[in-house]
Structure 1
């Protein structure tokens, strides 16, 4: 698991790294956050405000903007985010994937503009506020399937 950004002066501009982005800093091990998964393309870590017993964020290792900045060329990336999310769930003994919520907050309802997939399990154990914040196909939270439909139209 090598860092995408090694031994680089903070003043330098690095492709795929936004020095003000908290998720770029996490992925590059500048924050002390435990990475549950990391490769050249994808990283995963726990959400700091979990909405379910298992709440993970799966992000592109390089900075990618929010959902609205995606196009149909990003469909493989989105599918890979889901695959990594499933892999992390299985490593944490979550085998019932029918009780999992995968989705994205739709701008302007995302707190970090680095693309991130929320993986929540078991969805049946989410509290009232989490059910609201992560409500499927609302104005503010969309499923992977809905996002891919939007991407394929752009």
Structure 2
């Protein structure tokens, strides 16, 4: 855990976050600036700054995170119409919090390319 990281503070309970799912590996919270009717952030409980900082052994929680994304989409009722899972790595890609996380978006038509 990082003492300056907003996601680490949500995970530890030091600051509030609207948690929609959590287990031993990941936490899913509602995005405070949603870009779709359904917009959740899937955050590993292990502090890793960016995708470039992944290491051997991270495959377990990363694969689990995608299972969680699908389960949330099913539970919230937007799985069948489709959804997107996005990870931004570094500032030019739009990363603003330096704790790896994945955006789960659904409930609207998605365009391509995304931005």
- Shift in CA distance, 123/74, structure 1 to aligned 2, threshold 3 Å: farther
Unaligned runs of 5+ in 2: none
CA distance in 2, matches of 1:123, 1:74: 31
Deviations 1:28-79 (A, max 9, x none): 1221212111122111101111110000000111212211111454233222
Unaligned runs of 5+ in 1: 1-16, 139-154
1:2-151 aligned at under 5 Å gives the runs: 17-71=1-55, 73-96=57-80, 99-108=82-91, 109-124=94-109, 135=114
Structure ID, larger Rg:
1
TM-score computed with the length of structure 2 as normaliser: 0.85
Secondary structure in structure 1 of the residue aligned to 2:18? coil
CA distance in 2, matches of 1:122, 1:41: 26
- Superposed CA RMSD: 2.1
Task: Provide the residue aligned with 1:152 in structure 2.
Answer: none
Secondary structure in structure 2 of the residue aligned to 1:90? helix
Aligned residues: 113
Contact 1:53 1:122 in 2 (8 A): yes
Runs of 4+ in 1 over 3 A off after TM superposition: none
TM-score computed with the length of structure 1 as normaliser: 0.65
CA distance in 2, matches of 1:32, 1:73: 29
CA distance in 2, matches of 1:66, 1:54: 24
Task: Name the structure with the higher helix share.
Answer: 1
Deviations 1:67-114 (A, max 9, x none): 1111454233222111111111212122316x2111101212310010
